[in-house]
Structure 1
Amino acid sequence: MLVWLYGVITVGAVSRSVYQISTEFDRAPLPYTLTGAAALVYCFITYSLVRGGERARRAALLCCAAELAGVLVVGTWTLLRPEAFPDATVWSQFGMGYLFIPVILPITGMLWLRVRR
C-alpha cells in the first residue's frame, strides 16, 4: 500500500511539475521549482521502496525524513508568507491540496521502514 501511495503521489507531482515548469514557469518560479524538487524526492523514495534491500531502505528512510522536513518548512512558509507563493506547491499548507498526504506519507513511511528492518 505504501509503495502504491508513493507511486500515485509521484505521478501527480511529476505531471504537475512538468506541466507548470514547461508552460507557466515565469508566473511562479519558486512554487514550480519546489514542486519539481518534491517530484524528484517522491521518485527516489518510490524507487528505493521497490528496489528493496538494506541500502535502499536506509536511503528511503533518509529521503522520507528530508521529505517531512520539506513539507514542514514549505507548509509553514506558505502560511507565514503567502505572497511568496502566487501558486501552490505539492507541499503548500502541509499538502492541503493533496488531502494532507504529503505530511502523513513520510511519517508513515519512516515508521514502516523502521519496523521492516
Structure 2
Amino acid sequence: MPEASTRPQDAALGSGLGRVLLLVYGIFALSASARALVQISTHFGEAPLAYLLSAFAGLVYISATVGLAIGGARGRLIALVSCSIELLGVLIIGVLTVADAGDFPDDTVWSRFGSGYGYVPLVLPFIGLWWIWRHRPRA
C-alpha cells in the first residue's frame, strides 16, 4: 500500500497538472485584469457593464490562482468557490451575449462562452473543478 503522501488526493493542488492549471489561471488573471484596467481607464463610458464584468472575471481568476497556489483546506475552498463562480459566470454571460449582444457592446472574457480566448474560459472551470475534486481529502 502506498504511503498516504503519494496518493493523488493527498498531493498538492499545485503539483503535476495542477502546475499547468496554475499557469493558465495566472495568465488569465493577468490578461483579464490588465484588459479590464485598460478598458475602464480609457473608455469606461462605452460599455461599463462589460468592463466591470471583465474586472470581476480578473478577480475570480486571481482568487482561483491563489487558491490553487496555497493549497490545503483553505486554498481548496478558495479555488472551489472561484472555479464555481467562474463556471456560472461564463455560462450566464455566454448565454446573455449570444441571446442579446446589444447589452454588451464590447466583449468580456466570458462573452460568447469565451470565444475570444479560444473557449478556454468555458473549459477551464470544468478542469479546475475536476482537479479540486480529484484532490479532495479522504476520510
Q: What TM-score results when the alignment is normalised by the length of structure 1?
A: 0.97
Residue in structure 1 matching 2:52, options 27, 33, 51: 33
Q: Determine whether 1:71 maps to 2:90.
A: yes
Paired position in structure 1 for 2:40: 21
Aligned-pair identity (%):
44
Larger Rg: 2
Paired position in structure 1 for 2:17: none
1:62 deviates by 1.6
Q: Residues of 2 paired with 1:21 and 1:39: CA distance? A: 13
Secondary structure in structure 2 of the residue aligned to 1:86: coil
1:55 deviates by 1.7
Q: Determine whether 1:90 maps to 2:109.
A: yes
Secondary structure in structure 2 of the residue aligned to 1:88: coil
* 4+ residue runs over 2 A deviation: none
1:56 deviates by 1.3
Q: Determine whether 1:2 maps to 2:17.
A: no
Q: Determine whether 1:102 maps to 2:121.
A: yes
Residue in structure 2 matching 1:80, options 91, 95, 99: 99
After superposition, the CA RMSD in angstroms is: 0.7
- Structure 2 letter corresponding to 1:3: L
Deviation larger for 34-43 or 58-67: 58-67
Q: Which runs of 5+ in 2 are unaligned?
A: 1-19
Which structure shows the higher helix fraction?
1
Q: What TM-score results when the alignment is normalised by the length of structure 2?
A: 0.82
Q: Residues of 2 paired with 1:109 and 1:78: CA distance? A: 24
- Structure 2 letter corresponding to 1:26: G
Residue in structure 1 matching 2:80, options 37, 40, 61: 61
Deviations 1:65-84 (A, max 9, x none): 11100100000000111011
Q: Residues of 2 paired with 1:54 and 1:110: CA distance? A: 15
